[in-house]
Chains A and B, each alone.
Chain A
Amino acid sequence: IAGITQAPTSQILAAGRRMTLRCTQDMRHNAMYWYRQDLGLGLRLIHYSNTAGTTGKGEVPDGYSVSRANTDDFPLTLASAVPSQTSVYFCASSNNGNSPLHFGNGTRLTVT
């Protein structure tokens, strides 16, 4: 079934540790996105990529980095996790503005 796969499903992480959230899509979409979802705040964009080799900053990029080595993969890295990064993280993709966002099922991250 075509779609977006995220891993891990959930993770508890000690503050100060490094963590990479994985995202893979098989729809051949050009654009990929990372959002975080916090209660009462809605989904907020962290970083995005319109094509392999390019990335851009979203609304809340601090403390996060991304890379886009190929069309299918878009990992999100927390270099040194802090408790305020406790959230549910969703990866999404689209056909560069010509289609709605398609989402994975998220990674629930708790930073202690």
Chain B
Amino acid sequence: EDQVTQSPEALRLQEGESSSLNCSYTVSGLRGLFWYRQDPGKGPEFLFTLYSAGEEKEKERLKATLTKKESFLHITAPKPEDSATYLCAVQERDDFNKFYFGSGTKLNVKP
């Protein structure tokens, strides 16, 4: 059964304290792996798409990496405005309508 597990569920960091969020996945065939940011009361906002093992994408303080079984979202020197819930999703290769979402990591960055 296809599934996505994110860890940790919650993470508290001091401003400037780098860390990583994990997304482990099981899927019959991977079309793409997506990272989203979700602020309270808002819809998920797209960050990155990764398509194959070894691929990396960067945006400001965020870098996403992908292996055959998991993805990491590395946050370097975070700021309070990086506080949000980060969601991971995988899209099936053979049915592009099937996206499986993890339950997210809630990140809180203290000044």
Contact = CB atoms under 8 A, between A and B. Distances in A.
Contact of B102 (A42, A48, A56, A103): A42
Nearest to A31: B97
A31 B87 CA distance: 21
B101 A42 contact: yes
Contacts of A58: 97
A43 B97 contact: no
Interface majority SS (helix, strand, loop, mixed), chain A = strand
A81 B66 CA distance: 41
B43 A104 contact: yes
Interface majority SS (helix, strand, loop, mixed), chain B = strand
Nearest to A95: B96
Contacts of A100: 32, 34, 46, 49
B27 interface: no
A38 B42 CA distance: 14
B46 A102 contact: yes
Contact of A43 (B42, B46, B87): B87
B96 A96 contact: yes
Which 7 A-B pairs rank lowest in CB-CB distance, beginning with the nearest?
Answer: A97-B96, A103-B43, A42-B101, A43-B101, A42-B103, A100-B46, A105-B43
Interface of B: 4, 31-32, 34, 36, 41-46, 49, 87, 89, 91, 96-99, 101-104
Interface of A: 4, 31, 33, 35, 40-45, 48, 50, 56, 58, 90, 92, 94, 96-97, 100-106
